[in-house]
Amino acid sequence: MRLAAEGLRLLGAVALGALTALAGLVFLLLVLPFLGNPNVGATARRLARLEARRLRLDRATLDALTGDDNRPLGYLAARAGLGVLGGLVIVVLVYGVGTGAGLAAAWVRGEPFDGMRPTVPLAAYLLVVGILVLFLVLSGVAGVHALERRLATRMLGPDPTEALRHRIAELAESRAGVVTAVDAERRRIERDLHDGLQQRLVALSMLVGRAKRGRAELLEQAHLEAQQALAELREVAWRVYPSGLDSLGLGEALAGVAERAGVPVKVTCDLPRRPPTAVETAAYFVVCEAVTNAAKHAGAGLITVEVRERDGGVDVRVRDDGPGGADPAGGGLSGLARRVAALDGRFEVDSPPGGPTTIVAVLPCG
């Protein structure tokens, strides 16, 4: 089913490309006397961006379509031939399918088609030829689409040297962000241990010391303090790394987050196979931090968590019905953004005043 849908999308993209190629050629002929006009360049860039979206090019190519160069005009002129070729391939496909359907319909009614009456050898011959022609035409469609993508990437994409420099800068920033996030996490763990567990253990030690001097009624209180200390220790350990993530998987680990949230949390984890460990860990901490923020600061009544596989990666969405206004530059969310960026992922926060707040993390598995 997915293969058929992708094939139909490819056919539609090539057919649409034939129409836009003709439209682009008409545009070039009309604006030929006004090539120096800035409005012509701006319109050409908009047309080129539409073509880049039709071909599903990467974000870097779209971002490169800014400025005052003449690359979009050159691209519109260069792709006219490919567009016409794609249109011819689509015409051949439609004609072949129509002819085959007419032949089959005529023979089913017992009528000759173009003077040919049905016989077993003739039917077998036409079937083999039809399958061969269909294969060649579909290969032509795929080839035209691949050539269009290559041409658009070459003529509209960023300069390879500049792209490499940009990538190096991104990696350097991502590495610095990871170090900062790790340091921030260590400081938070230290605060949890110092302000919570350490103080409770000190109180427990004092209670046990007083009980040893003959006050047996303090043993019950010491027992309660010990239980609370263990609970806090488990909570800190889960924040460092949840042990159930390795053994039980992401779905069970997120179910544990929902149980400890203190507010209703609906979790949907639809992953046909386990993602890589780094992706699974990042997805867990995105959900954990987002749920914790929504429960503590947003006053949410319901939190919805969706984790699904999409386009070869993991798509994580956390939505709460709180009043909104979350700050993406805050400590927790900015740390998550750095963690996701370290995996070449995408992190978005949509939190308009009045809500709802939606946090999206797209984590590639490649």
Assigned domain for 193 exists: yes
C-alpha distance from residue 141 to each of 9, 99, 152, 295 (Å): 11, 19, 17, 52
d(CA 316, CA 192): 27
Whole-prediction pTM: 0.51
Identify the residue whose tokens are 């949890």: 192
166 domain residue, yes or no: no
Q: Given this model, what pLDDT does residue 316 score? A: 93
Look at residue 128 and tell me if it is in a domain. Answer: yes
Q: Give me the residues of the chain with pLDDT under 50, please.
A: none
Other CB atoms within a 10 A radius of the CB of residue 273 amount to 6
pLDDT at 144: 92
pLDDT tens profile 82-138: 899 999 999 999 998 888 888 888 888 888 887 788 888 888 888 898 899 889 998
What is the SS3 assignment for 358? Answer: strand
Q: Left (φ > 0), alpha (ψ -120 to 50) or beta: where does 270 sit?
A: beta
Supply 193's token pair: 């241990």
Report the percentage of the chain scoring pLDDT > 90.
Answer: 10
169 part of a folded domain: no
CA angle 78–69–81, rounded 5-degree value: 5
Same domain, 326 and 259: yes
Q: What is the CATH number of the domain that holds 296?
A: 3.30.565.10
Q: Are 86 and 15 part of one and the same domain?
A: yes
Return the closest-CA partner of residue 271 out of 261, 260, 279: 279
Whether 209 and 313 map to the same domain: the answer is no
Rounded CA-CA distance 337/178 in Å is 10
> Residue 85's pLDDT is what?
92
Q: Do residues 10 and 100 share a domain?
A: yes
Neighbours of 18 (CB within 10 A): 20
Domain co-membership, 266 together with 197: no
- Is the N-terminal amide bond of 356 cis, ω within 30° of 0? yes
Same domain, yes or no: 8 and 83: yes
Residue 89 is predicted with a pLDDT of: 92
Residues 134 and 262 in one domain: no
